[in-house]
């Protein structure tokens, strides 16, 4: 029975979630499996990988062949490196202490790279937010200048209109004083008021 370490798809449409399983190579993708080794969630940033290290290493040592994606996941977690180092120890090229030292060194280096990647992403987000705020400030200032120009133009028109009304006002008052018709209704109103009293 050729065993394979591969992914088994779970999750909703558009939101994949995978189980890393050991299965018979002839079984369907989401069908029967021998053992579940862990989970893989590609929707988070960075992707979340949770694997049983010892069982995955055991299955690699007994000959289970990983698929391409499973191989990259196992490599990311250092399981393939540990398997390689153990094979070197069995051949006599390395001692157990050297294997552990090399693996711990790799783990520290890997952890440093992951932390640096996370910091770089956070800094990139902050820089992007600053640039967005600066762009919004520029747009806001441009709008404020435009509104100020429009307001100044309106004030200038209002001043011109007021100045022209001031020039025309004496002529209008002279016309009103010359018309005796305006006095007649006022006299009639006062006569009617006297009659009512």
Is residue 27's pLDDT more than 50? Answer: yes
Question: Distance between CA 78 and CA 82 in Å, rounded?
Answer: 6
pLDDT at residue 66 in the model = 94
pLDDT at residue 174 in the model = 47
pLDDT at residue 147 in the model = 92
Q: Tens digits of per-residue pLDDT, 72-130? A: 999 999 999 999 999 998 888 888 899 899 999 999 998 898 889 889 989 999 999 99
Indicate the pairing of strand 48-51 with strand 65-66. Answer: unpaired
Confidence of residue 49 (pLDDT cuts 50, 70, 90): very high
**What CATH code is assigned to 3-94?**
3.30.1320.10
- What's the rounded mean pLDDT across residues 143-147? 92
pLDDT at residue 172 in the model = 46
Residues counted in the chain: 197
Q: Tens digits of per-residue pLDDT, 154-186? A: 888 888 888 887 776 554 444 545 555 545 555
Spans of all domains in the chain: 3-94, 95-177
pLDDT at residue 2 in the model = 85
Q: In what order do the strands lie in the sheet with 3-12?
A: 48-51, 35-41, 15-24, 3-12, 65-66
């Amino acid at each position: 029975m050729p065993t394979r370490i591969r992914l088994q798809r779970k999750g909703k449409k558009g939101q994949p979630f995978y189980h890393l399983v050991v299965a018979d190579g002839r079984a369907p993708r989401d069908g029967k499996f021998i053992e579940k080794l862990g989970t893989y969630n590609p929707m988070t940033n960075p992707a979340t990988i949770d694997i049983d290290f010892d069982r995955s290493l055991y299955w690699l040592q007994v000959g289970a062949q990983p698929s391409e994606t499973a191989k990259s996941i196992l490599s990311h977690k250092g399981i393939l490196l540990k398997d390689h180092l153990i094979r070197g120890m069995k051949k006599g090229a390395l001692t157990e202490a050297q294997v552990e030292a090399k693996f711990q060194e790799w783990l520290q280096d890997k952890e440093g790279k992951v932390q640096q990647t996370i910091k770089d992403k956070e800094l990139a987000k902050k820089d992007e937010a600053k640039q967005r705020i600066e762009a919004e400030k520029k747009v806001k200032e441009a709008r404020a200048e435009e509104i100020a120009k429009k307001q100044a133009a309106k004030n200038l028109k209002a001043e011109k209109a007021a100045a022209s009304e001031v020039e025309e006002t004496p002529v209008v008052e002279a016309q009103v004083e010359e018309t005796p018709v305006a006095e007649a209704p006022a006299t009639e109103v006062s006569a009617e008021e006297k009659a009512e009293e």
